[in-house]
Amino acid sequence: MTLKPWLAISILFFFFISNVIGAFVGINIGTDVTNLPPASDVVALLKARQITHVRLFNADAHMLNALANTSIEVIIGVTNEEVLGIGESPSTAAAWVNRNVAAYMPGTNITAIAVGSEVLTAIPNAAPVLVPAMNYLHKALVASRLNNQVKVSTPQSMDVIAKAFPPSTATFNSSWNSTIFQILQFLRNTNSYYMLNAYPYYEYVHSDGIFPIEYALFQPLSAVKQIVDPNTLFHYVSMFDALVDATYNSIEALNFSDIPVVVTETGWPWAGGSNEPDATKENAETFNNNLIRRVSNDTGPPSQPKIPINTFIYEMFNEDKRPGPISERSWGVFSTNGSDVYTLGLGSSDSISDNSSTAFCVAKPGADENKLQDGINWACGQGRANCSAIQSGKPCYFPDTIQNHASYAYNDYYQRMHSLGGTCDFDGTATMTTQDPSSRTCKFTGSSNSGGGVFPPAAFGPISATSQCSTIRSPVIAYTMVVFLALLILDVNAHFVF
Ligand SMILES: *[C@@H]1O[C@H](CO)[C@@H](O)[C@H](O)[C@H]1NC(C)=O
Ligand SMILES: *[C@@H]1O[C@H](CO)[C@@H](O)[C@H](O)[C@H]1NC(C)=O
Ligand SMILES: *[C@@H]1O[C@H](CO)[C@@H](O)[C@H](O)[C@H]1NC(C)=O
Ligand SMILES: *[C@@H]1O[C@H](CO)[C@@H](O)[C@H](O)[C@H]1NC(C)=O
Ligand SMILES: *[C@@H]1O[C@H](CO)[C@@H](O)[C@H](O)[C@H]1NC(C)=O
Ligand SMILES: *[C@@H]1O[C@H](CO)[C@@H](O)[C@H](O)[C@H]1NC(C)=O
Ligand SMILES: *[C@@H]1O[C@H](CO)[C@@H](O)[C@H](O)[C@H]1NC(C)=O
Ligand SMILES: *[C@@H]1O[C@H](CO)[C@@H](O)[C@H](O)[C@H]1NC(C)=O
Ligand SMILES: *[C@@H]1O[C@H](CO)[C@@H](O)[C@H](O)[C@H]1NC(C)=O
């Protein structure tokens, strides 16, 4: 039997699509949070925002249960405290895998174990047991026949790279050669990937003005400020691309190839102390939205254009219980009530405009909350509105506010009853609007939009224990920046020196 040409073309097209539309933006979920919502609410929010990939810093049982049967892909974490025990004992590793991985599969789609958080720079003394820990965990997965679904890797900070700029000459800090060499060998032998925590925010802040902020925020650079690697002549339109390429080149310098890089943490803090003027909502919004746009264009960095840069944003909620400067506690993109801290292109809270002339009945902004609660009670009770969508775990539960719940309930009542004389009043707390209040996943009654995602399926994912280490790398960064600058200036052909 021969393959029909159209079928062959369709299949090829399918492969093309499925390969190319691979890139995802996931989110890290740190738990040093006052009033952390229950796991079921966190998962409802993930679903509402169509977030398809998460990274946990530990193996929290509540989260792993709540993530079951959701199709959300999950990276779980061995904490730095656990690395030592696992690296010293295969049976501890096996018990860890049984308790935290095997017990939840296949219901929960665990796709990787992140062993520690920036171990080499955070707890250098544990370096000798890091690769043994990875090996023991992998062997335990093999024994449980889970090694094909679950990869083992270890997130590293940019600080393991001694000289990140220009990317073409980047190398790992040679004091880590032997550990990094073993890590890369392990990753290659097990078809795993390199986990990179890359923060343009810190690189920018510590560069003392050598790099323009536009470069860190993925914004266009003026002709005179183009950033070009003098050796490859690759244009780097964003620092994010440069950091990923520095990592690829460092890996290559140790003669490894075919190990993809996944960015397990990146982001931008939206608040900071008086000495942290760049930690603003505006910059965070710009960075994360441009990041999502960048990743979802499915191209790799200049040296690896065909390998999309799968990325996890740091992080879901502010980890307000963490120590350190204000910025350290201000990376969250959602409030714990489920509302956006700033508008993010991942989500569902932005209204979808549509052309229908339907009018919607919603809660008046600023209306008294007690009156709104009475209105909800009446609409969902006597008024017979269908309020199931605003129950916990349902698509319209978020944002979990009286205002939102009242809007949903009022509108459902109104759409059913207005032809029978039902009005949009609710003791003066309701108002009509032609703006469809629906979001990507919460469809208001009467809305004609399909509620489908405008944004491609995005995967979103934090590490809690060690990100503050990133704050202590300034001398190295400043030094490498100067080197990069010097290289650019020395290159006489470089008309693009900024
Ligand atoms: C997931 O779905 C399966 C099959 O439908 C069911 O047996 C299991 O209890 C569900 N798991 C959870 C945690 O809801
Ligand atoms: C789990 O994730 C993997 C990796 O993307 C995917 O291939 C697989 O279909 C997922 N499994 C389930 C049950 O959703
Ligand atoms: C390399 O790592 C060593 C040990 O951690 C550190 O002392 C040194 O400053 C690092 N060198 C560079 C260039 O980062
Ligand atoms: C580490 O690896 C680099 C790159 O391959 C090499 O140039 C360097 O000499 C090595 N350093 C040590 C201490 O082995
Ligand atoms: C990488 O391979 C080249 C060419 O085979 C060799 O000269 C070089 O020493 C190797 N470097 C390392 C770090 O193994
Ligand atoms: C994708 O992003 C890269 C790097 O930012 C950029 O060079 C390229 O032009 C973009 N491609 C598209 C199709 O937008
Ligand atoms: C959600 O919480 C944030 C932060 O606490 C607050 O600013 C915001 O007003 C709340 N949103 C609503 C709709 O209540
Ligand atoms: C929406 O309305 C505008 C102006 O009336 C029209 O140009 C546009 O084609 C409409 N879009 C859709 C999707 O119907
Ligand atoms: C109420 O709404 C839900 C969806 O939000 C729907 O599944 C259910 O069938 C509705 N119930 C009635 C009685 O209309």
Domains and CATH numbers, the chain: 23-347+459-490 (3.20.20.80), 360-433 (no CATH)
Check whether 214 has a pLDDT greater than 60. Answer: yes
Q: What's this model's pTM, rounded to 2 decimal places?
A: 0.73
List Cα–Cα distances, 270 to 54, 206, 218, in angstroms.
21, 17, 16
How far, in Å, CA of 290 to CA of 279, rounded? 16
**18-66 tens-digit pLDDT:** 333 479 999 999 999 999 999 999 999 998 888 999 999 999 999 999 9
Phi, psi of 254 (to 5 degrees): -95, 15
Instruction: Look at the alpha carbons of 410, 415, 419, 424 in this order and tell me if their dihedral is positive or negative.
Output: positive
Check whether 479 has a pLDDT greater than 70. Answer: no
H/E segment holding residue 205: helix 200-205
486 vs 291: which has the higher pLDDT: 291
Check whether 122 has a pLDDT greater than 60. Answer: yes
Give me the pLDDT at residue 87, please. 98
Give me the pLDDT at residue 369, please. 93
- Ligand 5 pocket, 252 CB below 6 A? no
Tell me, in angstroms, the distance from the centre of ligand 8 to residue 486's CA: 54
**453-468 tens-digit pLDDT:** 322 222 222 222 233 2
Residue nearest to atom 4 of ligand 9 (CA): 389
Check whether 173 has a pLDDT greater than 70. Answer: yes
Tell me, in angstroms, the distance from the centre of ligand 5 to residue 293's CA: 37
- Ligand 5 pocket, 254 CB below 6 A? yes
For ligand 1, residues with CB inside 6 Å are: 65, 68-69, 107
Residues with catalytic roles: 118, 265
Least confident of 37-51, 265-279, 367-381, 436-450: 436-450
Tell me, in angstroms, the distance from the centre of ligand 8 to residue 245's CA: 43
Give me the pLDDT at residue 157, please. 97
- Ligand 5 pocket, 355 CB below 6 A? no
Give the count of beta carbons closer than 10 Å to the beta carbon of residue 479: 13
For ligand 6, residues with CB inside 6 Å are: 237-238, 241, 294, 297, 299
Check whether 397 has a pLDDT greater than 80. Answer: yes
Instruction: Say which ligand is closest to the CA of 303.
Output: 6
- Ligand 5 pocket, 18 CB below 6 A? no
Mean pLDDT for the stretch of residues 466-488? 35
Give the count of beta carbons closer than 10 Å to the beta carbon of residue 273: 12
How far, in Å, CA of 205 to CA of 215, rounded? 12
- Ligand 3 pocket, 175 CB below 6 A? yes
